[in-house]
């Protein structure tokens, strides 16, 4: 389900703090890679003529998996291409990403999917999986040919950017999950409640005059989709959760045995709607930034595993489209190149989230949601590694971006923690 | 443990002296407001002279950039600039390059090429004045941006209340009607509470935005809540901003019956204000609009003095002996 360049690198990472939360490893070790596969983990590993990367003072972890990226291809190659988006991913420490189908044309046929897979195999710096649409043209009317799309390599299905409004149609999509076994991922937004809303409904939207986009616009859809998943006994994945009420519904449903997963974005985990007072279009996203209480609930859910995945929702936009009044600007911010550093700086450093949990939620967590093989530091596993300098500080944007777009919510901010090396599918995809 | 939830640079900037722009009442301190109102009073006196023009801003250039229809705001900014001897140019979106699809940024850059000292902007979208402030070096005055702010309206309302009702500290002002769509309401809530008034918002539930009480006002859906107000401030029903099918109200008839400001709902001596333009017979009964207690035309007149004061304040860099200078020029 993943397509991109692969490699057969030979290298040794010497004396790094090796952290693989899924395998329970956290100690100073050497890791040797032969032909793109981890061949030896231990002390004083023989370099055997391989390239040696000094890991002293650095953390070596399973590389990250981003389950939610907009690569804008086909249609808006000025904003991002497969090559630029995957280069950005590599710089952020990712060894795999999943691309959303809301392109132009929408990925709703095996033909469009096939051409993306072909391009990715040749150009992608890290392997990419492609989600296909749940409904044709993402219009919310008729299902796509999901079985054919799954056979053609779709990694899952979503109408991301739009909700599946009709409950009957959502039910049919979930029934089909029993056939394809590829995850159905839903953008939970009840459009008559969110209508015209761009900012979380609360004190900030009231003071600034924005039409409110209330939390309940998300949570009523979360409630509906959990009820449908329970009724059909199928799995469902909730995209970019933002509200406490949604988290509570999810936690209760999971406790009841519903096979539901969810993801949270770095911006929802770090910022609150107070940031909107700047009227900066780079803090405009859907779902909107919510209250401090919602943010606390999301962080807690990531910590306890209710939300098993962190997703950037990397959404590149052309500069001229964001340099407009807030109300006119499109939703979305970039995130691939800053996700780890932002979360390390704002969650791990202040003591809100332990580093191993962050690493797990950025790697094995999202991989498992979509049934991908989790990256792991184990002999015999393909090398998917990220080497991180936790103490390094850097200023976002100082060296430009590998992404074609620069609409980062962190522009100009100094962050702690910098990716030094990314090995994806046995190939060095990024080295600083 | 205290956790920093918001990055410092995303917080509203802590007032950098000297002030560059007037974008929101939130940019002002109580002292700023008092100074602006005092300056406005000096200008009112100056306009009692036969020769009404002051030389104060001679050689300065002021651009009025209006992307929304406006009678009183655009005319009063233009006249305010002329009374202060500034060169003023008014650009309206109809008939300009905006019709050809030019972005706000490019329109602002084009006009900024003439080195204006001040750009006064009205725009239907929240945040337009902030964008112009970011891309040009002119002082920016917000003459209304979407549902966000209309700071000079709030200042002229404060001026009117001080002149015709009394000191604002301790007054009770009821703001009635379509608060949701009203930039005037938001600027007034901030300005009135800043100066010590108690504000009660009254209207139908869907037009009272959730969370607005955090601005320091009371909220009621009962029109009876206006009974003990010193001033009843009536908002215009902004039908043009209500998207079809949103069902804010069952009907205008229902609104008028339940929340219309009528003589029966007022007591004698209660002052009535309205930012205009009025929908007579909808939010305000014609008898109220024309009564001796209505200050509506006074508000329009105050707009001139207050806008003169705002332009003067920005271009002379604040409070330095303002009263003395103005007194000198008047004499």
Find all residues with CB under 8 Å of B77, minimum gap 6, and list them.
B62, B64, B88, B120, B141, B143, B152, B307
Percent of chain B with pLDDT over 70: 89
- Which one of 3.40.50.720, 1.10.10.10, 3.20.20.140, 3.40.50.620 gives the CATH number of domain A63-373? 3.20.20.140
Rounded to an integer, what distance in angstroms lies between the CA atom of residue B314 and that of residue B18?
A: 8
Tokens 């990531």, residue? Answer: A302
Rounded to an integer, what distance in angstroms lies between the CA atom of residue A161 and that of residue B325?
A: 58
The mean predicted confidence, pLDDT, of chain B is 89
- Per-residue confidence (pLDDT) for residue B47, from 0 to 100: 83
pTM (2 decimals)?
A: 0.92
- Per-residue confidence (pLDDT) for residue A5, from 0 to 100: 94
Q: Kindly report the backbone phi and psi dihedral angles of residue A2, in degrees, each rounded to the nearest multiple of 5, phi listed first.
A: -115, 140
Find all residues with CB under 8 Å of A381, minimum gap 6, and list them.
A37, A38, A375
Rounded to an integer, what distance in angstroms lies between the CA atom of residue A94 and that of residue A71?
A: 14
Answer yes or no: same fold for B12-150+302-330 and B151-298. Answer: yes
Rounded to an integer, what distance in angstroms lies between the CA atom of residue A238 and that of residue A281?
A: 25
**Does A327 contact B at CB distance below 8 Å?**
yes
Could you report the per-residue pLDDT of B14-36, keeping only the tens digit for each?
A: 444 456 899 999 999 999 999 99
Rounded to an integer, what distance in angstroms lies between the CA atom of residue A407 and that of residue A332?
A: 8
ipTM score over 0.95, yes or no: no
Looking at CATH, the fold of the domain delimited by B12-150+302-330 is given as: Rossmann fold (3.40.50)
Given pLDDT bands bounded at 50, 70 and 90, which one contains residue B53?
confident
Query: Hey, which residues does B284 pair with through a beta bridge?
Result: B261, B280
Per CB-CB distance under 8 Å, the chain A contacts of B127 are: 279, 281, 325-327
- Asked if residue B327 has pLDDT above 90, the reply is no
Per CB-CB distance under 8 Å, the chain A contacts of B209 are: 201, 205-206, 212
- Per-residue confidence (pLDDT) for residue B328, from 0 to 100: 53
Catalytic one of A160, A225, A294, A313: A313
C-alpha A201 chain-centroid distance: 25
- Asked if residue B331 has pLDDT above 50, the reply is no
Instruction: Answer whether A206 sits within 8 Å of B131, measured CB to CB.
Output: no
- Per-residue confidence (pLDDT) for residue B319, from 0 to 100: 44
**Does A228 contact B at CB distance below 8 Å?**
no
| Segments making up each domain of chain B, as ranges | 12-150+302-330, 151-298
Per CB-CB distance under 8 Å, the chain A contacts of B1 are: 350-351
Q: Which residue in A231, A106, A108, A228 sits closest to A169, CA to CA?
A: A228
**Does A145 contact B at CB distance below 8 Å?**
no
- Per-residue confidence (pLDDT) for residue B1, from 0 to 100: 43
Print pLDDT tens along chain A (432 aa): 999 999 999 999 999 999 999 999 999 999 999 999 999 999 999 998 999 999 999 999 999 999 999 999 999 999 999 999 999 999 999 999 999 999 999 999 999 999 999 999 999 999 999 999 999 999 999 999 999 999 999 999 999 999 999 999 999 999 999 999 999 999 999 999 998 899 999 999 999 999 999 999 999 999 999 999 999 999 999 999 999 999 999 999 999 999 999 999 999 999 999 999 999 999 999 999 999 999 999 999 999 999 999 999 999 999 999 999 999 999 999 999 999 999 999 999 999 999 999 999 999 999 999 999 999 999 999 999 999 999 999 999 999 999 999 999 999 999 999 999 999 999 999 999
Domain B151-298 annotated CATH 3.40.50.1370? yes
Which residue is closest to B2 within chain A, CA to CA? A350
- Asked if residue B325 has pLDDT above 70, the reply is no
Nearest by CB: B5 against A196, A202, A295 = A295
Given pLDDT bands bounded at 50, 70 and 90, which one contains residue B199?
very high
Could you report the per-residue pLDDT of B275-316, keeping only the tens digit for each?
A: 999 999 999 999 999 999 999 999 999 999 999 999 999 998
| Segments making up each domain of chain A, as ranges | 63-373
Instruction: Answer whether B11 sits within 8 Å of A320, measured CB to CB.
Output: no
* Residue B271 CB neighbour total at 10 angstroms: 22
- In terms of DSSP H, where are the helices of A308-386? 319-322, 339-343, 355-361, 364-369
- Per-residue confidence (pLDDT) for residue B245, from 0 to 100: 76
């Amino acid at each position: 389900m993943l397509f991109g360049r692969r490699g057969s690198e030979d290298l040794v990472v010497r004396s790094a703090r090796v952290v693989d939360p899924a395998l329970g490893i956290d100690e100073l070790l050497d890791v040797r890679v032969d032909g793109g596969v981890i061949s030896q983990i231990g002390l004083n590993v023989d370099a055997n003529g391989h390239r040696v990367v000094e890991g002293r003072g650095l953390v070596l972890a399973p590389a990250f998996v981003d389950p939610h990226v907009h690569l804008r291809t086909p249609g808006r190659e000025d904003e991002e291409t497969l090559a630029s988006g995957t280069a950005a991913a590599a710089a952020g420490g990712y060894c795999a990403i999943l691309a959303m189908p809301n392109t132009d044309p929408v990925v709703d046929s095996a033909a469009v999917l096939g051409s993306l897979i072909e391009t990715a195999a040749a150009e992608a710096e890290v392997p990419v999986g492609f989600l296909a649409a749940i409904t044709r043209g993402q219009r919310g009317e008729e299902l796509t040919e999901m079985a054919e799309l799954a056979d053609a390599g779709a990694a899952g299905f979503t109408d991301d950017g739009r909700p599946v409004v009709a409950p009957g149609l959502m039910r049919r999509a979930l029934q089909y999950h029993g056939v394809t076994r590829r995850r159905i991922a839903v953008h939970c937004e009840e459009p008559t409640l969110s209508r015209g809303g761009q900012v979380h409904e609360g004190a900030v939207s009231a003071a600034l005059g924005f039409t409110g986009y209330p939390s309940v616009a998300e949570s009523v859809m979360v409630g509906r989709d959990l009820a449908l998943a329970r009724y059909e006994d199928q799995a469902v994945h909730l995209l970019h959760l933002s509200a406490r009420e949604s988290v509570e519904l999810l936690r209760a449903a999971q406790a009841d045995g519903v096979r539901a997963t969810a993801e949270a974005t770095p911006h929802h985990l770090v910022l609150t709607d107070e940031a909107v007072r700047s009227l900066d279009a780079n803090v405009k996203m859907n779902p909107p930034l919510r209250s401090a209480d919602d943010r606390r609930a999301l962080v807690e859910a990531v910590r306890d595993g209710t939300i098993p995945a962190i997703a950037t929702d990397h959404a590149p936009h052309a500069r001229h489209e964001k340099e407009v009044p807030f109300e006119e600007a499109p939703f979305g911010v970039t995130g691939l190149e800053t996700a780890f550093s932002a979360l390390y700086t704002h969650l791990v450093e202040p003591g809100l989230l332990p580093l191993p949990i962050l690493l797990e939620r950025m790697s094995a967590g999202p991989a498992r949601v979509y049934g991908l093989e989790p990256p792991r530091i184990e002999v015999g596993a393909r090398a998917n590694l990220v080497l991180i300098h936790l103490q390094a500080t850097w200023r976002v944007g100082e060296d430009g971006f590998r992404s074609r777009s620069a609409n980062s919510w962190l522009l100009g901010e100094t962050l702690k923690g910098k990716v030094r090396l990314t090995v994806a599918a046995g190939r060095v995809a990024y080295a600083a | 443990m205290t956790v920093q939830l918001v990055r410092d640079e995303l917080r509203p900037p802590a007032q950098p002296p000297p002030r560059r722009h007037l974008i929101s009442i939130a940019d002002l301190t109580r002292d700023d407001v008092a100074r602006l109102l005092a300056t406005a009073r000096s200008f009112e006196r100056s306009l009692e002279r036969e020769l009404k023009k002051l030389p104060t801003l001679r050689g300065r250039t002021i651009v009025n950039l209006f992307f929304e229809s406006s009678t009183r705001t655009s005319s009063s900014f233009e006249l305010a600039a002329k009374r202060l001897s500034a060169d003023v140019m008014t650009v309206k979106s109809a008939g300009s390059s905006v019709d050809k699809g030019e972005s706000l940024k490019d329109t602002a850059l084009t006009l900024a090429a003439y080195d204006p000292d001040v750009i006064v902007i009205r725009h239907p979208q929240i945040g337009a004045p902030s964008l112009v402030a970011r891309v040009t070096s002119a002082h920016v005055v917000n003459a209304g941006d979407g549902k966000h702010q209309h700071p000079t309206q709030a200042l002229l309302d404060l001026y009117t209340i001080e002149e015709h009702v009394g000191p604002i500290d301790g007054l009770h002002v009821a703001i009635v009607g379509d608060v949701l769509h009203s930039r005037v309401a938001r600027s007034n809530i901030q300005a009135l509470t800043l100066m010590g008034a108690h504000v009660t918002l009254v209207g139908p539930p869907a037009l009272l935005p959730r969370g607005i009480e955090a601005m320091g006002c009371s909220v009621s859906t009962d029109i009876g809540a206006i009974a003990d107000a010193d001033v009843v401030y009536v908002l215009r029903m902004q039908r043009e901003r209500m998207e079809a099918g949103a069902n804010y109200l069952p009907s205008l008839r229902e609104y008028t019956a339940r929340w219309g400001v009528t003589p029966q709902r007022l007591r004698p001596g209660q002052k009535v204000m309205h930012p205009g333009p009025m929908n007579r017979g909808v939010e305000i009964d014609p008898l109220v609009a024309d009564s001796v207690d209505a200050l509506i035309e006074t508000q329009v007149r105050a707009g001139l003095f207050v806008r003169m004061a705002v332009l003067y304040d920005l271009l002379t860099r604040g409070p330095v002996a303002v009263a003395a200078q103005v007194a000198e020029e008047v004499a």
